[in-house]
Structure 1
């Protein structure tokens, strides 16, 4: 079969691969070669598929980042917030985040996973407030993206128990942990050697002091001894701090000293020991009847 060069029209040898005149590569089956040279759709779609895969993985990526940030924020929270709250926030960030990821990736339940992420973020903020803002926001954003990219599937109502149980478990641990801490703290404080010396100066004023000792047998972040003075009608007429300290050392005994200077005599005093400036539940309470002596 005679072939001709499609570029210059020359007539090369039958078995030649290239044209002797112009060097053009001869093609015995241009239709088949043209079909083979067409771009494959699968090759062109690979970058698009990779991009879509990355987008759908955003909730997972954000959830992992939120866990890491949650732990970092806990470690960076001032100790004055309390070790109990700091540790609780870090544990919740890890466990709550991992449960959400499991629900989203393994159980394919984005709605329930989103609920778990939101609860996790809210609990972190509850424990360490503004020190956990970033991780809380990341968990909430991860929840929104999980709903958006993973779709709204039919809810498995049984699995809804997981975020609900997370809340119940956290609050159960808080209540039991708080009760154990309170009992241990109360047994770790001993107040003794209380003495009083309130004197009528005879010039319309009463002065004096209440002293004592407080022994600490465990580690506290903060301890404070408050002394409230009451009149005969049971009204508080004076209050002051008899002693306070950050990180008092276990096994040490500290001196309590509360001074009184008022125009009216106190009838009694109440000594309370607290471990927080905002805690209304004292670790120790003792009432003392005041006997005023004359200094004239």
Structure 2
């Protein structure tokens, strides 16, 4: 069982892992916290982009010798293969940690998997620690692996001048690998943020065949895509593949009213409302595609 300190550390690892959203793809956004023998945090790190050190290595570097005999708390099973960087399970073994807690198992892990190799080295391993919470960050990456296409978000304002919402959309852009603008152009969420030779922006527009468009987006290395604007043709082209809808409904305080066409049915059929956030100028609705158990 995870201790209260370890659960706190896992939530910290989940929080810092989000720093990699929009930059790590095609790799996953991962966070790691190192606790010393007494359960005190002594190092943390996250993965920023493919080709850079992974979260575990960054956390171990920060911890130094204090990692020996301690605990590594990581949001994803440590990798078990040599890629652009050495396997993280070996870094943990070499650092002589005594215990590793992981939230989500890695479906891309090679061979027996990093967790098994750690156990074979005499390290105590606990799986599934706060898994559902870690999926708040890792969920879109896992979705792309299971479906063979990116996780797609459609964001727009209902009954308002969408040009006025660009500043609001800027925060969404930085957490997505690719953005399809209202004129159909495709660009990197944060220009130049991904690793070299591991990510590319599609050079041409998406065309009129959903299957080919999704394939092109996936082949770019993108794991998350943001479609901007209510009248964006890409939203119609990829309608069956949209996983999340974010809608800003205009209104004012203190007497708030919803206005604009479609406001009364802004959450589309087949989607499940997951969040509602008011501000002085609008209410933001977030809805995800419904599953059978919802």
TM-score normalised according to structure 1 size = 0.26
Q: Going by fraction, where is helix more abundant, 1 or 2?
A: 1
